[in-house]
Chains A and B, each alone.
Chain A
Amino acid sequence: GQQLNQSPQSMFIQEGEDVSMNCTSSSIFNTWLWYKQDPGEGPVLLIALYKAGELTSNGRLTAQFGITRKDSFLNISASIPSDVGIYFCAGQLGTYKYIFGTGTRLKVLA
């Protein structure tokens, strides 16, 4: 089945550092979504991107829709301990189907 390649798979960072992760695909998507999943919970939407080249922020989070429409990036500035969790990208394939990435597990060291 189709999957999105997400990197890095996991990362340890110090509190206060900036974090970058990305998602790439062989397919073109019209929408890119970024989710965060806390342990024992379902994913929660962080940012949605609808247009190639779009740059959108949500607090300390900034995401970009790649020009080629085959990739997307998520940056977290000045990380804090509550940023720990798994971050997923998702691309919208067709009207109602979403393909998810394999996730980036983030651990923040205080």
Chain B
Amino acid sequence: NAGVTQTPKFQVLKTGQSMTLQCAQDMNHEYMSWYRQDPGMGLRLIHYSVGAGITDQGEVPNGYNVSRSTTEDFPLRLLSAAPSQTSVYFCASSDSGGLSKTQYFGPGTRLLVL
């Protein structure tokens, strides 16, 4: 199992450009989520999905779109990048069943918006 994979690892964008951050998991997890990590802020939830075709907003959703057409993939789209979106982005997945909902995190995508 590769676990949770994210691409790209690094990205530099100009203000106003759009891009998609890719996230995939091969553990057949129903739940997937996107977080951003900023210095001194911990991780903040952007969007999450509890299954294919179902998405919902997290704490900081503005400026981001998501979709979940398959169980495996959960891409995050920046429609018009802004410098405030400079951050490290983490994707996570977990099994929705059972008491333990251990989240497995990907290695992160470091995004710089100029």
Write the residues of chain A forming the contact surface with B, with a CB cutoff of 8 angstroms: 1-4, 6, 31, 33, 40-45, 48, 50, 88, 90, 92, 96-103
Say which residue of A40, A48, A103 sits within 8 Å of B107 (CB atoms): A40
The 5 closest A-B pairs by CB, nearest first: A42-B105, A100-B42, A100-B43, A1-B59, A102-B42
Q: List B contacts of A41 (CB < 8 A).
A: 107-108
Residues of B within 8 A of A100 (CB): 35, 42-44
Pick the residue among A4, A97, A103 that contacts B48 (CB under 8 A): A97
Interface size counted on chain B using CB atoms at 8 A: 28
A98, B41: Cβ atoms closer than 8 Å: no
* Contact status of A97 and B44, CB under 8 A, knowing A41-B107, A42-B108, A43-B105: no
Per-position 1/0 for B40-74, Cβ under 8 A of A: 11111100101000000011100000000000000
Chain B positions near chain A (C-beta within 8 angstroms): 4, 31, 33, 35, 40-45, 48, 50, 58-60, 90, 92, 96, 99-108
Contact B42 A45 (CB under 8 A): no
Please, which residues of chain B bring their CB within 8 A of the CB of A44? 105
Q: What is the chain A residue whose CB lies nearest that of B90?
A: A42
Name B59's contact: one of A2, A42, A96, A103 (CB within 8 Å). Answer: A2
Taking a contact as CB atoms closer than 8 A, the residue among A1, A40, A102 that contacts B40 in the complex is A102
Knowing that A33-B103, A43-B90, A100-B43 touch, tell me 20 more A-B residue pairs with CB under 8 angstroms. A1-B44, A1-B60, A3-B41, A6-B42, A31-B101, A40-B107, A40-B108, A41-B107, A41-B108, A42-B4, A48-B100, A50-B99, A88-B42, A88-B43, A96-B31, A96-B101, A99-B45, A100-B42, A101-B42, A102-B40
Contact A43-B59, Cβ < 8 Å, known A48-B100, A96-B31 = no
Q: Is the CB of B42 within 8 A of A96?
A: no
A45 to B59, Cβ gap below 8 A? no
Q: Give A92 to B48 CA distance when docked, in angstroms.
A: 14
* Bound Cα distance A6, B34 (Å): 22
